[in-house]
Amino acid sequence: MVRHDVSCRLRVRLCRSDPDDAEDVLTAAEDLVAWNPATRARAAGKPLKSKRKAEANRAPCSVCKVENSRDCHCGALLIKDCNFDMFKQFLRFTRSINNPVLNLCDPYDQQAMKEILHEKFPRARTNRNEFLGVVCIAALGAISGKAEVMQAFANDLHHCGDISVVTATMKKWMRSNKKFFRGGQAHGPLKYADLDTALKNFLQKHLENIAKSVKKWIAAPNVLKRCKAVRGFMNAVKASASAWQAGEYYVKRLLEIIILAPLKLQEKDYDFGIDIWPLGPGTKDGLKLILPTARSKRDYHEGIRFLQRSLGRGQKGVSAASISAMLCHFKRTLTGTLDWSSTIH
């Protein structure tokens, strides 16, 4: 997922660029590795001596924990086994104007979800009922994976403003025997018959906590407080997965959908929580193609930071969330599941 303004800027830059020049840049993938004194020292097994102090407008790296993220050394121990051919293909895929993540019309369901949230809850930033409604509808979109579900629940909630109507809408949906889950299958062991119970559990135990954490994020006056607020929100979303008996895919979807809401949240703020960013199987598989020795969660999170730094040379502003999505698309493109192969050859 890439913010609208970032996508527009990148597409304009790509249209202006000379394809032959871009190919020359990609001929030596090793030169595109984001080396800095910290990564060189780490790769050589030498002690790390950061010369930069913490800055008020720059948060520490959440993965390697250095005080100043300019000295981030994530991925230094994984680079030696990097598959530079795949690394090169991923860079080409990411920088291609045909990249699905940079296409403002794709994926279609994401655009539909955004339209629903903006149309039904235009005052969500200032109106409490609409604010709670956005969080609730975003959660329903995350667990179902369907814009159709969000539309049905948003219609009822928008008319009365009472969050309790959501449970009645769920019962009505279940009586109609309509498919709730995208593809007909839940993210975890949750059964269709238990949806109303799961929804009540979410509303009673998690809705307020998530809403409060989002408000703190919106009101944070500086980088360090915003960092703390974002991490609090991400942990609150992660805790809510238990209500739905769901895993990290639900968490990832809710984190993505809430950015689409009319709350003026910044996707790049998720970089404050890369170390707790949910890792779906598609992201892991895509990353292992580039960094085959990645095994643990720490390795995967370091790998995302490594790619983000490497892409920063020509695509500043691409967030960890976008890198995660691109890795998933990249893997599916290579296997032929998605037909975007022209972007990587």
pTM: 0.82
Same domain, 245 and 336: no
- pLDDT tens, 194-217? 999 999 999 999 999 999 999 999
Q: Where are the alpha helices (DSSP H) in the chain?
A: 4-16, 19-25, 37-43, 84-95, 108-120, 128-144, 147-160, 165-175, 195-205, 207-219, 223-244, 248-260, 281-290, 297-311, 320-335
Confirm if 94 and 332 have CB atoms less than 8 A apart.
Answer: no
Range of the domain at 165: 108-212+226-261
| Angle formed at CA 312 by CA 310 and CA 318, multiple of 5 degrees | 115
Taking each helix axis from N to C end, the angle separating 297-311 and 320-335, rounded to the nearest 10 degrees, works out to: 100
**118 and 237 inside one domain:** yes
Claim to verify: residue 91 and residue 114 sit in the same structural domain? no
Q: Which amino acid is at 243?
A: A
Q: Is the pLDDT of residue 10 over 60?
A: no
Domain count across the chain: 2
Residues 155 and 200 in one domain: yes
Question: pLDDT tens for residues 47-79?
Answer: 776 666 666 667 788 898 888 777 888 988 898
CB 60 within 8 A of CB 47: no
What three-state secondary structure class fits 55?
strand
Q: How confident is the model at residue 101 (pLDDT cuts 50, 70, 90)?
A: low
Same-domain status, 241 and 313: no
Enter the tokens of residue 242.
């238990």
